[in-house]
Structure 1
Amino acid sequence: MVSEHGSDRPRSPAAGTDPLGDPFLRTCFAVPVPPAAFLHRPRLTRRLGRVPDTPLTVVDGCAGAGKTLLVADWAARLERPVAWFTVDSCGRAPGVFWAYLLEALRASGAEELQDIGAPADAGTVDHGLLTRLAARLDARDRPVTVVLDAYDRVTALEITDQLGFVLHHAGRGLRLVLVTRVEPTLPLHRCRADGTLTEIRDAELAFTPEEAAALLELHGLHLGHDAVRALVARTRGWAAGLRLCALAARQSGDPEKYLKEFEAGQSTIADFLLAEVLERQPPATQDLLLRVSVLDRFCPDLADALTGRRDAGPVLAELHRSNAFVEYLGHAWYRLHPLFAEILKAHLRMRLPGLESELHRRAARWLRHAGPLSDTLAHGAAAGDWEFTARALVDDLALGQFFTGLRSGDLDALFARMPPGATGPEADLVRAARELAGPDRDRACVHLERARRASARAGPGRAEVRLGCALLDTLDARLAGAPDRAEHAARTARELWRDLPAALLDRHPELPALLRTHLGAARLWAGRFDDARAVLSEAAAGRDAATAPPREEALGLLALIDLLTGWPTRAERAALAALADAERFSLAEPAGLDLVHPVLAAVAVDRDELDDAQALLDRAAAVRPVPPDPVTAACRVIARACLQLARGRTEAALETAGTAVPAAVASPWAEDRTALVVSAAHLAEGRPETAVEVLRDAVGRDAACTVAAARAHLAAGDPDAALHLLDRLPADRSGGPAVTVRALLVRAEAAVLRGDPATARRLAVRALADARRERLRRPLLEAGPSLRRLLRSDVLQGALRSGPADRPGARGRIPPRTARQTALVVEELSGRERDVLRRLARMMSTEEIAADLFVSVNTVKTHLKSAYRKLGVNRRSDAVHRARELRLL
């Protein structure tokens, strides 16, 4: 049952926090409290009583038509909880809208939604999150009722599309009530046709003469029948107009005469509001109303800060009780009726020109100490006080929110208005952060250097500014490929943390996550894999939405380390973990995933899944054509060159490998991997001596290059030199399976050339077993002709089947391409199963497939199980590969 301050729910909205760790604005979840002079209207609440039978209800009327109070009165009489969300500025971006709506649902008692995730980006919402939400709602025994008040404030068209998707697929689990001034762009014509829509529109919201008479009596006015009918005719039953008339007439000596004069003499409601409502208030109350008109919401203390008095509390309470268009939001917060506020603001500019900026300035300073940072910044910007606004952001340690979090887009848009004349180190830091978050690093460096110099001139104080400089310095050094400078900047940042309040640092977990990720990337570029792994593992350990982008980036960097050290399955696992995390927090294509697709492409090349590798590289280039940093750029170049080499395009591979990656210092692993590709290209063209020479500097330093050099010696007919190189390779630097399998194959081929078939078979069996576990195919295809004959022999395959690799859980035989056989499917795949497989091949999640095919997630899982059984596999990647072998895709 809805209570005076909201609803009897399992927990208060105050218990939740938004994905940045800040408390949600509780007033957005509060069910409005009808005023004392509110008229219960049974004819309309009976219409709302149809909500349990129709998925969608739209209460659509003009400003002041009484929509919100009508629905609030109906909700208060229900015997079940209602999820109420008043859309404000916090709900105009898709990510923010869904974060608030999910919190409203959880606060209403929908416990099954606790673990479905939440958006972490202001501008986007992953389709998988919406699919999970719809599926969970569809599974409910009883529907949940959701009221979206002021839905007309939603300006992003994608929100309406997303809401329509959830409503359609939630089935009987969701009953949605939209309170709006304009008709939503949902397909209402279909709902009207099939009877699944309840509508209460402007004409029905209009007061009847009987209702108007009852309303006037609640205001202490007893008018004759004809007078009431005349008033209803002139106001067309507009609720706000009737209330305004009642308030003004009540103060007149002859209310009936006054209302007749109003009917004849007033041309606009604005004139009436100003002359008969505002000007009839005491001067101090008029002044208060004019001043608070610059605020979206206000409490008595904030109103006092704008008036310079201390009496706002009782004045606001009385204005609300007298229904003077001051609405109570709950928790001591109020707002003006939007139309009234707009008229008051216009009158403020006329009556007190120049005061509006000063009021915004006072509001910003009050909110700086007692309100959310977003409101502080908005009022500071409205006042034109950009130095204060930038200082508030930097002092709050919120500079990292340009790179992560729901408000990154809002911050960028707000500070895009900052004029060039705004000075100070904080303003320059904000400019530098905006540019570093975008594509212009050169301009960012100019602003960052200016902020650094201004901070140095200010002396040892202002630790917040110096911390901001250190954070941006670390990012800039990482983007420039300057590891030593990144180490110095990160060390400075860690030292500055000791000078800042722990409570302030705790509010911004994104700061250490960003710092560790940038430092880890710089160490990786320098080839310090162990040091990079240590700091990246810390960055990847977070769990909240505020740290999602750096966490996913750290996972991508860890995946690259695994790839470079020869562990493709571990690399794939880390990359997929990054994708899953992005899906959980609705980050469709965040910057943190720039490295994931090239890494997965490189793994696919080693597994000879070349079409998949091409699709992954194409997707990476489409999302971000210019790689953001040298690590990503080098990874893309090397993965693309390896793919071209695997396809037999040696000239293209050599050209790609020669692509320059701008960086302050060269990366040892990037140079080694480039040499590896160049050497392999020469070897493929029949130039083994050149292949050996290309790798001369990398031999002994990089295990993969050493093994490749040994293979080139074999091709040159020198097995002794090949074995000598492998024997010199330290055991602790031998690398993972992608390296050791190749090393075993080189040793096996050397044994063949030296006339030792028993040793060759023993080594080949070990290599095939390890390759099977990792699904490695390229090393087998790269083997020399004499070894390939051995790999295809029945004797070797029999030894492999009876060897140590033949155990529960081991994968089936992975023969080289030359020995593949086309197996038959015992049972034909259905058309729908093929549809599912095609989407699996495009790396779509189960939820995305369900949404694309307009079926439930459970239906997709059923098709998958059936397809797996028919194909004889138990993993999605194996199913795709098997289907391609059978030419089903």
Structure 2
Amino acid sequence: MDSANYGDSSSRFPTQGPLDQLLAAKFFVPTLPGTYFARPRLTALLDAGLQSQAILVSAAAGFGKTTLLSGWVRMFRPNDPHTAWISLDTCDNVPSQFWIYVLAALERCKSGISALPLTFLQKESQPAWQAMLTALINNLAQCSERMVLVLDNYDKITEPTIHALISFLVEHLPPTLCLVLSTRANLPFSLARLRARVQIQELRTEQLRYTQEETTIFLRKAVDFRFSEQDMQEVQSRTQGWCAGLHLAALALRGRSNPRDLLHELHGSQRAILEYLLDEVVQQQSSRVQNFLLQTSILDRLFPALCNAVLEQQDSQSILEEMEHANLFLSPLDEEHQWYTYHPLFAEALRHRLQQISPDNVSILNLRASQWYDSHLYENEAIQHAIYIQEWSRVTELIERIPSQSIWSRLNAPFWIEHLPPDVVRTRPRLCLAYTHALFWNTPSRITKDWLRDARMAWAVLHAREENATGITPAQKPEASTRLLGEIAALQAVVVGFYDGDAGATRAYCNEALTHLVEQQQAAHVQVTFAQSLAALSLGHFELAIQLLQAGNTAAAAEGDTALANICLTRASWDITMAGRLHDAWQFTEHTIQRAQTPDGHLPVTVCWTYARQADILREWNRLKEAQHLVEQAIQFGEQAEITALLPLGYTILLKLALSRGDLEEAARANQLLEDSWKRMPAPYCYALYSNVDQVRFWLACRDLERARQWAKNLEREEPLVSPLARERQGVSLARIALTESQPDRALALLAPLIVRAKATGRWAHVLEMWLLQAQAYQMRLQSQEALATLAQAVNLAAPEGYIRCFVDEGVQMADLLGRLKKQGHQGDSISYLETLLTAFDDAHEVQMRQAKKEQSDVSSPLLDLLSAREYEVLRLVAQGASNQMIAETLAISNDTARHHVSNILSKLGVTNRTQAAIRARILGLLSSAS
């Protein structure tokens, strides 16, 4: 039978890729058995639950949960409400696969509702879970029609990530969605809030048990024998209303000359009854059917061709039809009766029996199932069956068979790899490489380097084995094997270039990669180009870096790899900004967003990088509110998507915006987030390049000169960074500290060589920044002519690009210099630009005055007067970073007394932590800048 007949994913779903491999059978509402009858007392409870936000049906195996729900939803009027059904199994413990099925099920009900959430799952490294759920919840909330989502067999789910996300969904359910969970076990998350709000309907074991009346109805439908009322009561007593027990009993009663004898033999626990009845039922079947039952029990879903492959026979279709007719706990999953499933309890008992009588056969059967799924392109099922029997070599073979250029986008790949024993993964170079790609944006570089080192070592071992086996000399290395080494070297080049800024090592890896890569490995070639641009950047050669990134963008776009092309283009916009071309950088970001946008207007989560770049440009153009909105969006995307590498950049821009507004308390919060983010992703080169200058500005704005001095002292003790660009950034920070300490000569000495090198390599944004510092240093030396001449150069450079904040953020002295430059009759087309700058100073001064008044009003004088002499002493120690223990020892007081003083100080200053207390105290003049 053609594969198109047994697994068509929804054609309405708007994306290709992982969705092509969805099993449509999982979406079918199970067919009702011939013995089904309505249970109005329970459907009335379910109907009442529709008015709530959630329904929980929880009971042990065999209490009729699935049959009850499938009968209930079949009573709905067409699309009132819309019903999305998913039959879960153990394969769904991969979070990305679980949510793909959820989105696909909802999409089958309402076209377009899952398009945006899906983009958050298709992120290159890790899916953006919270962003995905937030988008889904928002879309559902805007839907005008009611929907029911049934997650049947939820007890099959053991993955904590899925539980956490379902808990989040439960806590934020929109009124348009009723979530129905069917499970054998208690849920691993709390429903307390829904219960408190009376927004959940719960059906448990006692409600699901058959009543005496229901038992009578069932047996009269199922067994061609008239039992007495006493017999019925005995059945009810022995089975305790257990649906599966009744069903098995009905099967066992067939063909008995005296059915009443069986009733007397039923006793013991549910497990004992199950074992007994299973023997009775199975033994009544022909050996052909018995063999079929046991061997197909390893399958979650049965399809004739699949069963034929697993049993190595050709009559599965007729056996399935025979079993369905006999009602042997087999339910069709589709209207065409092609896909079937066993009752979970029945399947579990059969698997247990198979394991007892033929354990060796379990592996053989699962292997055949894996092979069938693989040959019919059901990638996930093929891998899951191999994982189940721990056939690690087959798992690795299946994963490694995925083409290199597409394995990185496989949502399941990291989870497949994590199922494998670490020692297996570390001996397979392609698996190590795939895992490194998944970790790149959200894991410290030392970990990605370790995996790449393991990839290289594994490659060397395998390559040596190949050479020894074939007798090939090093000069005749197999081309296919060395291609993989090229991919490893390409990613090593990117990691070293991005996180370390080591141009020499990066170029060496690039050269190695190019030695082994062939033309067809376009993705790896683009990685090499990207790494070459990073090497050029670390040396400060911006124009070369930009040219390389544009080439990478063109190559990736030609291959249809939009994600990789956009990474190149976004990176280029950062470099163009540092080259001083703000308008060009903005055009690059706009093009990136336009290309990334889907036809329905949605954007992938990776747009966070572009938003961050746009926010920084807008900040420089003094469009602070727009910049704030964009950077908050970028950070939100980055946090939700766990793109950890973005966060320090986003928090740095947040810090710069707070400093531009003169809001030191908000700056303190941003600075704390910034410091925490660098602790999660330690990278001294990246810190120096993107954050150091602005963090030093923050310390100086808070009058925390001691902190700035300590950073400078630490810098002297540390090994210098290999990147000239990073060292330039550090030099700018040192010059700024020198100016604060009234050391203009030192500042000029630091800046002079840096300006020469920056001009030589076209780093005009940096030249502009350093000219502004240089002008202030000259003015501090009373060299007004030199100061104004330097400032004039800066103005001429900045005017065409509309720079504003780099001038205004320098403060009053810069405003004075610009005013004098204007009065001097500055030549050229910059007069109107000077007026724009001076107006921006006036606006900034007004904003800062309002901020200062607000901060003053937040702490009234009477409260400040209440600070005792002892509390002033404690405050000075707090500002120096002393702990309660250190305060107690210094002042010869108890720990409790120190803690009490600190608590009083925080309360009187209206802050919540020690850092905020120190900043507020400096703002209010309670502490000197040296304190």
Bin of the TM-score, shorter chain as denominator length: 0.7 to 0.9
Aligned to 1:589: 642
CA distance in 2: counterparts of 1:794 and 1:800, whole angstroms = 15
- Distance in 1 (CA, whole Å) between partners of 2:148 and 2:376 is 33
Task: Tell me, yes or no, if structure 1 residue 776 matches structure 2 residue 780.
Answer: no
Structure-2 residue corresponding to 1:103: 104
> What aligned pairs does 1:795-806 form with structure 2 within 5 A after superposition?
803=832
Aligned match of 1:600: 653
Output aligned runs, 1:346-425, within 5 Å: 346-397=352-403, 406-407=411-412, 409-416=414-421, 418-419=423-424
Greater Cα shift, 153-162 or 100-109: 153-162
Whether 2:309 is the aligned partner of 1:305: answer: yes
* Structure 1 SS opposite 2:810: helix
Contact 2:552 2:568 in 1 (8 A): yes
1:231-285 deviation digits (Å, cap 9, x = unpaired):
2221112111111122222243443433443459997134225412333333333
208 and 21 in structure 1: CA distance in 2 versus 1, 3 angstrom threshold: closer
Distance (whole Å) between structure 2 residues aligned to residue 597 and residue 417 of structure 1:
34
Go from structure 1 to structure 2 and tell me whether the alpha carbon gap of 1:264 and 1:51 turns closer, same or farther (over 3 Å shift).
closer
Identify which of 261, 267, 289 aligns with 2:265: 261
User: Alignment length, in residue pairs?
Assistant: 778
Output aligned runs, 1:725-736, within 5 Å: 733=762, 735-736=764-765
Distance 1:354 1:277 in 2: 25
CA contact (8 A) 1:304 1:311 kept: yes
Aligned equivalent of 1:876? none
TM, length-normalised to structure 2: 0.69
User: 8 Å contact 2:631–2:654 — kept in the other structure?
Assistant: no
Q: Of 651, 656, 662, which residue of structure 1 is paired with 2:709?
A: 651
1:309-708 alignment, distance < 5 Å: 309-330=313-334, 332-397=338-403, 406-407=411-412, 409-416=414-421, 418-419=423-424, 439-440=446-447, 441-442=449-450, 444-452=452-460, 454-455=462-463, 457=466, 466-480=482-496, 481=502, 482-488=505-511, 491=514, 495=518, 497=520, 521-522=534-535, 524-525=537-538, 527=541, 528-534=544-550, 537=553, 557-558=571-572, 560-562=574-576, 564-566=578-580, 573-574=612-613, 580=633, 587-593=640-646, 596-597=649-650, 600=653, 603-604=656-657, 607=660, 615-616=669-670, 618-623=672-677, 625=679, 627=681, 632-635=686-689, 638-639=692-693, 642-643=696-697, 646-647=700-701, 648=705, 649-655=707-713, 657-658=715-716, 666-694=722-750, 698-703=754-759
CA distance in 2: counterparts of 1:269 and 1:596, whole angstroms = 64
Measured in 2, the distance between the counterparts of 1:199 and 1:465 equals: 58
> Conserved in 1, the CA contact under 8 Å of 2:533 and 2:546?
no
Rounded Cα–Cα distance in structure 1 between residues aligned with 2:923 and 2:136:
36
**Given the superposition, is the C-alpha separation of residues 107 and 322 from structure 1 closer, same or farther in structure 2, using an over 3 Å criterion?**
same
CA contact (8 A) 2:748 2:777 kept: no
Aligned residue identity for 1:348: L
CA deviation digits over 1:835-863, x for unaligned, max 9?
Answer: xxxxxxxxxxxxxxxxxxxxxxxxxxxxx
**Rounded Cα–Cα distance in structure 2 between residues aligned with 1:567 and 1:633:** 23
Paired AA for residue 373 in structure 1: E
Partner Cα distance (1:683, 1:811) in 2: 23
Deviation of residue 451 (structure 1)? 1.0
Question: CA 1:179–1:757 in 2, change beyond 3 Å: closer, same or farther?
Answer: closer
* Structure 2: runs of 5 or more not aligned: 497-501, 587-609, 616-629, 859-921, 926-931
Question: In 2 relative to 1, CA 565–800 (structure 1 residues): closer, same or farther, beyond 3 Å?
Answer: closer
Which of 235, 249, 269 lines up with 1:231 in the alignment?
235
Match among 820, 838, 849 for residue 822 of structure 1: 849
Following superposition, the deviation at residue 418 of structure 1 comes to: 4.8
**Distance across 1 between alignment mates of 2:825 and 2:183:** 74
Supply the distance in 1 between the matched residues of 2:752 and 2:386 (Cα, whole angstroms): 62
SS of the residue 1:701 aligns to: helix
**Counterparts in 2 of 1:623 and 1:323: CA distance versus 1, 3 Å:** farther
Contact 1:212 1:228 in 2 (8 A): yes
Query: Deviation of residue 82 (structure 1)?
Result: 0.7
The answer to whether structure 1 residue 250 and structure 2 residue 258 are counterparts is no
TM-score computed with the length of structure 1 as normaliser: 0.72
Code of the aligned partner of 1:228: M
- Is the CA contact (8 Å cut-off) linking 1:151 and 1:180 kept in structure 2? yes
How far apart in 2 are the matches of 1:678 and 1:652? 11
Q: Is the 8 A contact 1:517 1:539 kept in 2?
A: no
| Kept in 1: contact 2:768–2:798 (CA 8 A) | no
Cα pair distance change 1:199/1:379, threshold 3 Å: closer
Match for residue 151 of structure 1 among 138, 151, 154: 154
Distance (Å, rounded) in 1 between the aligned partners of 2:799 and 2:291: 84
Q: Distance in 2 between matches of 1:630 and 1:801?
A: 39
Residues 248 and 278 in structure 2, CA contact (< 8 A), matched pair in contact too: no
Match of 2:817 in 1: 787
Report the CA distance shift for 1:515/1:53 in structure 2 as closer, same or farther (over 3 A): farther
Q: Is the 8 A contact 1:206 1:237 kept in 2?
A: yes
* 5+ long unaligned stretches in structure 1: 499-504, 704-728, 832-883
3-state DSSP of counterpart to 2:373:
helix
C-alpha distance 580-468 of structure 1, shift in aligned 2 (>3 A): farther
Q: Decide which moves more: 755-764 or 193-202.
A: 755-764
What SS does structure 1 have at the residue aligned with 2:21? coil
Alignment of 1:101-140 (within 5 A): 101-109=102-110, 111-112=112-113, 114-116=115-117, 117-120=119-122, 126-140=129-143
Contact 2:532 2:548 in 1 (8 A): yes
Amino acid at match of 1:86: S
RMSD of the alignment, in Å?
5.2
SS of residue matched to 2:150? strand
Match status 1:45 vs 2:101: no
Q: Is the 8 A contact 1:428 1:451 kept in 2?
A: no
Matches within 5 A, 1:178-197: 178-184=181-187, 188=191, 191=194, 195-197=198-200
Q: Which residue of structure 1 lines up, in the alignment, with residue 622 of structure 2? A: none
